[in-house]
Amino acid sequence: MLKHFRSVFVVAVVGALLAGATAVCTLWSWHVVKSKISHSKQKAMELHPDHTRALDEIASYVGGQTFRDETDRWVFVRTWVNKNSVHVMDDEHYNYASKTHKLIPMLWERHLGKRKEPHLACGSRAYSMKAILDRIGIPSRIVDVLRTDLSQTTLERSSHTFVEAWNRETEAWEIQDPDLNVAYRHVGSGNRLFVYEMVMGNVEEAEPVNERGAGWLRLNMFPNRQLFRFAVYRLSYVGERSVAIVNSKRLDSGMKFKNGRETVDVYELLRRSDGHLLS
């Protein structure tokens, strides 16, 4: 075990230094360096045998199910993550929320009935689902959306995070939200929607859907329609530039967001994640 942790430490240090050096050479931005170091450390810790063992068990469990299609498989994984955790943001949550190598074993132990539900939120549930999708070979990416209701006091409280996954059958991306346990579809065609369609399209023609039904009101999600005016693909964590999508008809890209004691606009938010803007 000690040998394993020494190996993890070496990988984390080397990966962090390489990622940091690359970021410093390109932008000299601490925000870029910090995100890449964090990603390198996390990937190193995911080499822990408890994490890999739990992922293997989950992948085997998912593989043992029968699904109608690719989307049905994702719905199963999304619902599994949701039902084996509880949305609570307390001291326990913050103790492990950003540590996927701890979350995955916790979720599996909960599934086996060996522990209570871990306290997760949208980000930790999204990263847990992404880890499972990665393990079973389904491309996916993390997306942040920001609420434009400025009555919210902080950027953190005004944001939401979920997964967008690639459907190899339809050759299209689809939103999968393990925190709210929903996907989104076009009201008329029934086709599943991806982030760009939600942000740039007509939200009135879209609706959330899960096993309980469909519709903003039926699923008690009417306020969440405000989330789809500004979205960020959090690609900096995989060594790429983050991409923001802004519907300029609904949101001024110069709008300020309160973030603790400071106020930032869309461009500053992107600079901190080494991103660029699409509108």
How many domains does the chain divide into? 2
Same domain (yes/no): 21, 114:
no
Same domain (yes/no): 14, 102:
no
Q: What six digits make up the tokens of 107?
A: 């979720």
Q: In this predicted model, what pLDDT tens digit does every residue of 50-64 receive, in sequence order?
A: 889 999 999 999 999
Provide the pLDDT for residue 1: 47
Same domain (yes/no): 107, 131:
yes
Same domain (yes/no): 194, 210:
yes
Is pLDDT at 272 greater than 70 in this prediction? no
Same domain (yes/no): 120, 228:
yes
Q: What six digits make up the tokens of 33?
A: 């360096």
Range of the domain at 207: 48-278
As a whole number of angstroms, the distance between CA 108 and CA 248 comes to 43
Provide the pLDDT for residue 2: 40
- Among the ranges given (15-19, 99-103, 206-210), the one the predictor scored with the smallest mean pLDDT: 15-19
Q: How confident is the model at residue 49 (pLDDT cuts 50, 70, 90)?
A: confident
Q: In this predicted model, what pLDDT tens digit does every residue of 180-202 receive, in sequence order?
A: 999 999 999 999 999 999 988 88
Provide the pLDDT for residue 6: 41
At CB < 8 A and 24+ separation, what contacts does 256-261 make?
Answer: 257/146, 257/155, 257/158, 258/150, 258/152, 258/153, 258/154, 258/155, 259/154, 259/155, 259/156, 260/154
Is pLDDT at 152 greater than 50 in this prediction? no
Q: What's the whole-number mean pLDDT along residues 35-64?
A: 81
Provide the pLDDT for residue 116: 95
Higher pLDDT, 183 or 30: 183
Q: What's the whole-number mean pLDDT along residues 114-124?
A: 95
